[in-house]
Amino acid sequence: MNGNKLPTIKEIAKRLNVSVSTVSRALHDHPGIGLRTKTRVQELARELDYQPNQAAISFKQSKTYTIGVVLPNLKEEFFSEAINGIEEIATGHKYNVLISQSRDDIQREKQIISTMINNRVDGIIASLGANTTSYEHFTTLKKYGIPVVFFDRVPSLPDFNKVYANMNTGTREAIEFLIEKGHRRIGVLNGPEKMRSTHERIETYKQVLIKKRLKIDLGLVTSTDLTREGTHQAMQQLLSQRPRPTAILVINDYIALDAMQYARKQKLKIGKDICFVSYANLPITSYLETPPMASVEQYPFQQGAKAAEILMELIDTPAKEKAQAPETFQNVVINGTLVIHTKR
């Protein structure tokens, strides 16, 4: 049907009897090109609906104007919101965003990194899978000169750029809130050992209890592998404690949903027999008749945006880094804050 030949710079050059270099420069408003030719070129380009071949440019400049994003999944609103933040910054810098889900599977995660290397992305933003404890696939990236910024689920090693929410402030506020509301037996439904946040959360939990002169009962501290079954098991353990906890601090809103579901099945009235406070403050909880009492906002959009900003800076820092100090890593901590949903 159509000639199927996309217009190229060459084509324009031929039609106008000028060289390809002139066309290229004219299209870039290069000062060395006269006004007459410049407009002639630009007009013809518009007329032919010329679109520069990004693949060729990427090739020539060895720069793809693409950043990769690796995260566990897109289903959680936390992550899709983080992507919004990333997109916002990236498209503002004329970068494309290549998204891939690791589904908490380290093999997939490695695979994804590998294809991103092949595609020569200019940088990577990552949030670790729940079971990722080794980071070789990320350290490999240094060899290729591909900068990485982690967010939310960040590695526990110091030599990476990270953006994450501080568990301390939010957790402190959450527990103090619960104590203020009269709760004395506060359970914790934590995440996998491997996740950094898990330790921070428990540390702060202990600190606050000690400060408030409350007894610490480790039977009230459980963890889930993030699956629904795991969460139900953990809940079973928590609810079997005597006296039963009157409030539970849950690693995130999604898990809180599972936990609340379990509690309901046990004929417990949520908000009355047992209260929940969790992390993330996702919009979906606002639709619940009995949402968690409060939730620690983690600012996913801001985390994503900040990570993207840092990455953009890193990308725009070429050979200068060598002159720089050996290497410096950014470590941005966002303070989570408690958002209260219901009074009691």
Partner DNA sequence: TAAGACTGCGCAACCGTTTGCGTTCTCAAT
Partner DNA sequence: ATTGAGAACGCAAACGGTTGCGCAGTCTTA
Residue 284 binding DNA, by CB under 7 A: no
Contact of residue 25 among its own copies, DNA, none (CB under 5-8 Å per partner type): DNA
Residue 63 binding DNA, by CB under 7 A: no
Residue 38 binding DNA, by CB under 7 A: yes
Candidate residues 1, 3, 36, 287; the one interacting with DNA per rule CB under 7 A: 36
Q: For residue 168, which amino acid is it? A: N
Structure tokens at 178: 């619960």
Distance, CA of 298 to CA of 271 (rounded, Å): 23
Contact of residue 240 among its own copies, DNA, none (CB under 5-8 Å per partner type): none
Q: For residue 306, which amino acid is it? A: K
Give, for 287, the enclosing helix (H) or strand (E).
Answer: none
Minimum CB distance to DNA, residue 309 (Å):
25
Burial of 60 (0-12, 13-18, 19+ CB in 10 A): exposed
Q: Which are the contacts of 314, defined by CB distance < 8 A and separation ≥ 6? A: 123, 147, 149, 161
> In this chain, which stretch among 83-91, 123-131, 154-162, 216-224 interacts with its own copies, using CB under 8 A?
83-91
1 beta partners: none
Q: Of 73 and 166, which has the nearer Cβ to its own copies? A: 73
Strands 275-280 and 221-223: unpaired
Residue 97 binding its own copies, by CB under 8 A: yes
Residue 4 binding DNA, by CB under 7 A: no
Shortest CA distance to 116 belongs to which of 158, 159, 83, 71?
Answer: 71
Candidate residues 1, 2, 4, 17; the one interacting with DNA per rule CB under 7 A: 17
In this structure, is the dihedral angle defined by the CA atoms of residues 93, 99, 103 and 109, taken in order, positive or negative?
negative
335 beta partners: 166
Q: Of 6 and 157, which has the nearer Cβ to its own copies? A: 6
Strands 337-340 and 294-297: antiparallel
- Which DSSP category does 62 fall into? T
Residue 335 binding its own copies, by CB under 8 A: no
Residue 329 binding its own copies, by CB under 8 A: no
Q: Of 205 and 262, which has the nearer Cβ to its own copies? A: 262
Residue 19 binding DNA, by CB under 7 A: yes
Which residues form the interface with its own copies (CB under 8 A)?
1-2, 4, 6, 49, 51-56, 58-59, 62, 64, 73-75, 77, 80-81, 83-84, 87, 96-101, 114-115, 117-120, 142-145, 257-258, 260-261, 264, 284, 286-290, 322
